[in-house]
Structures are given as structure tokens and as C-alpha cells.
Structure 1
Amino acid sequence: MRHLDEFRKLWAELVPEDGQAETRQGEMIRAVEKLRTESLRNGYANWDDDFEHFVRYLREHLTAGDAFSDQQKREINRDIDAIAQSDSPPLEDEPFDRVQDWVIEWTRANPDPIPHEKLTDLER
């Protein structure tokens, strides 16, 4: 991960110990780590709609707007596709590190807190 120190700082500031984050920035950071943990610890054995939501959430917000070029958006989609293989989960950190770096770069481009609309049926 290229932005590890910044990730740690933002995690401490934006991601609650339990439940969803208050901001889109924090929720995207949380989503990547939820996916990483499930893949590396459980091989996606517990894959469900919540994990599908995290994939959609990341793709939707990272590829919308003008924070990234079209080429970067293609790379983001490729990295998210690698993570989203529920039948063949990544067993290494690299795709998660890359997506987390994209999230940090997106957060730099969007420094003002954007409220996250919490989902009542999201259990993870």
C-alpha cells in the first residue's frame, strides 16, 4: 500500500469501532477492509449481499466524478473485479492495497466530508 500512513490516520478519524461510517470517505475505507478481512481470513466463505454491497459501493463512488481519468477508472474497475470474485477470492493483499490506495487518492480529491447514507439492513 503506497499510502499506509495516510490510511491509518483516516481509519482512526473516519471509521467507527462498530457499524457504518458517518462519511462516504470513511465508509469506502471500511468497505475495502471488510472485503480484505473476509477474503484473507475466510476465503469469502461468508460472502453475502453485504459484501456485494461493498463492491458496488466502491465501484460506484470511485468511478463517478472527475477524481480519476478514464484510464485510472479502468484500472479501478480491474482491481475491484479482482476483489469481487466470490468463487475465487484473492488470497493476497495486493488487490486490496491497490483499491485502498485508490480510496485514499479519492479522499484527497474529495477532502470535505460527504455524508454516508446508512443502510438499515447492512449487518457488516
Structure 2
Amino acid sequence: MKHAEEFQELWESLVPDGGQAATVQGELIRSVGRLRDEAERNGNANWDEGYELFCDFIEITFRPLRMADPHARERIEVILNRMRQPNIAYLDYALFDELEDYAVDWCKSHPEPIPKPNDPRQYR
């Protein structure tokens, strides 16, 4: 992972101690981090709609990037498709690393905070 330190710094500065982030940048970092945490700590045993919503949010946020960069589009699609298979104790850390790098790059290319309304469906 080329942006491990930056990911952690973004987490600390953008993600609240509990609940959803107030910005798209913060929620992107939170979504990627929560997916990794669930896989590492629980082998996706708690996978439910909340984790599907994280995948949906990531997909929507990255949609313009995926349109601009065919390689990124393909990689993000592969990663999210794998993560949406919760029956597998999904622990391919390299794919989580790659997704975190995409998230850091996205945040760097969007430095101005983008407000994000609260999603009442997201309880994770």
C-alpha cells in the first residue's frame, strides 16, 4: 500500500468517532476502512445491508474516476465484486490496500470538503 500513512491521517482527520462522516471524503475513507475492518476482524460474519451500502457509496463516489481511467474502472469493479461476496472469509489484503490507495488519491484530487447528507439507511 503506497498511501498507508496518508489513509490513517485522513481517517483521523475526517472520520468521526461514531456514525457517518459529514463529507464525501470522510465517508469514502470510513467506508473503505469499515469494509477492511469487518473482513479482518470478523471474516465478514456480520455482513449485511450496511456493508452493501458502503460498497454502493464507494462505487458511486468513484464513478467519475472509473469513467476517466479504464484501468481504475476495471480494478475497482474487481475489488468491489470480490467484497460483495461475503460468504467468503474475504482477506485478500492486497485488494484492500489498493482500494485504500484509490480512496487517498480521490481525496487528494478533491481537497475541498464536499458536504454529505446523512443516509438514514446506514447504521454501521
In 2, are the aligned partners of 1:35 and 1:51 still within 8 Å (CA)?
Answer: yes
Cα distance in 2 for residues equivalent to 1:48 and 1:90: 14
* Residue 47 (structure 2) pairs with residue 61 (structure 1): no
Q: After alignment, is 17-26 or 35-44 more displaced?
A: 35-44
TM-score (norm 2): 0.91
CA shift in 2, pair 1:54/1:64, >3 Å: same
Structure 1 position 123, deviation (Å): 1.3
| Aligned partner letter, 2:10 | L
TM-score (norm 1): 0.91
Cα distance in 2 for residues equivalent to 1:9 and 1:69: 26
| Aligned partner letter, 2:64 | A
* Residue 47 (structure 2) pairs with residue 47 (structure 1): yes
| Aligned partner letter, 1:43 | G
SS of 1:118's equivalent in the other structure is: coil
CA shift in 2, pair 1:17/1:85, >3 Å: same
Structure 2: stretches of 5+ with no match in the other structure: none
In 2, are the aligned partners of 1:40 and 1:92 still within 8 Å (CA)?
Answer: no
Instruction: State the partner residue of 1:17.
Output: 17
Instruction: Please give the residue correspondences for 1:81-100 in structure 2 after superposition, counting only pairs within 5 Å.
Output: 81-100=81-100
Instruction: State the partner residue of 2:26.
Output: 26
Q: Which has the higher helix share?
A: 2
In 1, are the aligned partners of 2:32 and 2:54 still within 8 Å (CA)?
Answer: yes
Structure 1 position 65, deviation (Å): 5.1
Instruction: State the partner residue of 1:112.
Output: 112
**What stretches of structure 1 move > 6 A for 4+ residues in a row?**
none
Q: Identity of paired residues, percent?
A: 35
Structure 1: stretches of 5+ with no match in the other structure: none
